[in-house]
Structure 1
Amino acid sequence: MSTSTPQARTTYRVRGRTTPDGPAHIEAADQTIPADTAWAQPATGQPGPAELLAASLAACLLKNLNRSGKLLPFRYTSAEVDVVAQRQDTPPKFTGFTYELRLVTNEPQRRIDLLHHNLRRYGTVYNTLAATCDVQGRIVTTPPPTEPS
């Protein structure tokens, strides 16, 4: 009979701070992120909880793109992602996320499909959201500009 030890879990810590009339800030890693946590007030222009969650999905996709770029290897010269979060009011919850990842690459379509598969399979934030709501997206590619002869 073999026994295996459970994998160690990675722990992430953030700290949020606010006052009743003041701005809110989230401390994550070595950064301070302003956050709009005001209720029934004009928007502050800072990201609120919904934008921060959508930003987490964007960061997850980009981080896994970099990971896949090293492991596959997959070559690209730049990447950009747009994420849209859909929420409902009653009961309050997110119902879905959509994304479009735009890459400048010469990789063939089969490698782009493999990359997309890996982004969906190995993304922690992606998988967490996909377990609770619909997450759909696509990769759009553009070849790098050719250098003049």
Structure 2
Amino acid sequence: MKYQIKASSVSTKDAILQIKQNEIAFGTTSNSAEILPNPAELFLGAFAACMLKNVERFSAMMNFTYAKAVVNVSAIRTEKPVKMDNINYELIIYSADENINTILLKKNIEKFGTIYNTIKLSCTINGEIIQVKNDEY
């Protein structure tokens, strides 16, 4: 598989990612720091998107249903060397389904997640999957 995106910016303005038929604005100036996602947040967003895509994928393969999945991700930016490290996640699966094997789901996400596997080569990742069985989705 091959992937391709296009990104552009204008001096003193913010930037845009063009992906398929969508545009995603992101901040490159201090004026948008509180409004638009920055590159580090987009990076964590790709990590979260990979996890959620795999929840959908593995729900069919592992024969479970869910109403909603939410992933909370945090990371630390180190200074020497400058990089993202210590990524922590909490994946919450809202489902009353008794067939969910969260241990196997976590193993599958860690083994088959493209973004997950790319990131784990350069930093530590820790996380857990929690199933919420009540009807408050």
Q: What's the TM-score once normalised by structure 1's chain length?
A: 0.84
Counterpart code for 2:73: V
Q: How much does 1:145 deviate?
A: 2.1
Does structure 2 conserve the Cα–Cα contact (< 8 Å) formed by 1:25 and 1:35?
Answer: yes
C-alpha RMSD over aligned residues:
1.8
CA distance in 2, matches of 1:28, 1:126: 20
- Compare CA radii of gyration and give the structure with the larger one: 1
Q: Count the aligned residue pairs.
A: 135
Q: What's the TM-score once normalised by structure 2's chain length?
A: 0.90
* Corresponding residue for residue 2 of structure 2: 11
**Structure 1: 4+ residue segments shifted above 2 A:** 106-110
Alpha-carbon spacing, 1:44–1:77, altered in 2? closer, same or farther (3 Å): closer
Q: 5+ residue gaps in structure 2?
A: none
**SS, match of residue 65 in structure 2:** coil
1:44-84 residue CA offsets vs partner (Å, 9 max, x unmatched): 51011100000000000000000001111122111111111
Q: How does 1:1-149 map to 2 (within 5 A)?
A: 10-38=1-29, 41-42=30-31, 43-108=33-98, 111-145=101-135
Does structure 2 conserve the Cα–Cα contact (< 8 Å) formed by 1:77 and 1:144?
Answer: no
Q: How much does 1:142 deviate?
A: 1.1
Q: 5+ residue gaps in structure 1?
A: 1-9
